[in-house]
Structures are given as C-alpha cells and as structure tokens.
Amino acid sequence: MLLEVGRIARPHGLKGDVIVELITNRPEARLAPGSRLVTDDGALEVVSSSPHQNRWIVTFAGVNSREAAEDLRGTVLRAEPLDEEGTLWVHELVGSRVVTTDGQSVGTVEAVQPSPASDLLVLEDERLVPMTFVVATSPGQVVIDPPEGLLDL
C-alpha cells in the first residue's frame, strides 16, 4: 500500500528543480537523497531537497530542464509507509468505533481533520475530538479520555 506524501506544485528555476508541497510529518525521510517516490507515471528518485517557504525545492534524477519540470506539475507523490511503532494512520481510524475509557460508545470516525494544535477526529454527528485525547487504538476501535463537556451537544 502506498501513501500520498505530497504533490509537485510547479517548476522552480530553469534546471529542472520543482516545488513540492508535502503532506507528511517526515520530510527528512521522504526527501532524503536516494529516496524513491512513486507517481502514476513511474518512480522519481530524489537527488537533493531543501526547505523553501513552507514547501520544498526538490531535484529529481533525470529531470534536467524547466520543460521536464513543467511536465511534472500536479503530480501526486506516493511512498511506502514508514515502519514506526505507535503510528496512527488516517485510513485505519476512519470507520473505527470511538469509546470512552469507561466503555461508553460515542460514535464512529468519519474523517480526520488537520488542525494546528492537534488533528481532530470527526464523528458521524459532526462532533470533533482532538487526537490529544486518544489513549489507545486497536483495529476498528479508538479509546478516548475526553474532559467533561467535550462531547456534549
């Protein structure tokens, strides 16, 4: 299974560099020299990368002109999941039953909404639960320890 980790926004300069907008919290792993990112048209190998205004300037092997970089505009970049202990994946959370630490069922996760302070679990009744209150997960279930009043409608 491949995860979407970013998208090529546009060319940068004349030598084939591109601006990449990442949606990963591990840019150093995803954009390390030698890393391979998969696209619908094949794999791209990272030659170099550097941060630039909340995005990244990336040089891919074989992309040596502005025209070649322009052809990559809008390309979705995917990669294998990083094997890290305790990682929560959105696709594993969506559809999970949410229960409190005392076993009370509070709903089902419909989506995960990014937020600067903490990503939010979006329940089917549109209530929001900050991920900071998740204390455990197992296949198909998320256990939360919310403060009093958080889940009141």
Model pLDDT, residue 24: 82
Domain boundaries, the chain: 3-79, 90-144
| Architecture (CATH level 2) of domain 3-79 | Beta Barrel (2.40)
Question: What digits encode the pLDDT tens for the residues 91-144?
Answer: 788 999 999 999 999 999 999 998 888 889 999 999 999 999 999 988 899 999
pLDDT in tens, 22-79: 988 788 889 999 999 999 999 999 999 999 998 999 999 999 999 999 999 999 999 9
Q: What radius of gyration, in Å, describes the C-alpha atoms of the chain?
A: 19
Question: Closest by alpha carbon to 53, among 20, 76, 23?
Answer: 20
Total Cβ atoms within 10 A of residue 22 = 19
Helices (H), the chain: 27-30, 66-71, 90-93
pLDDT of residue 32: 95
Structure tokens at 90: 């959105």
Say yes or no to pLDDT of 83 above 70: no
Q: Which fold has domain 90-144?
A: SH3 type barrels. (2.30.30)
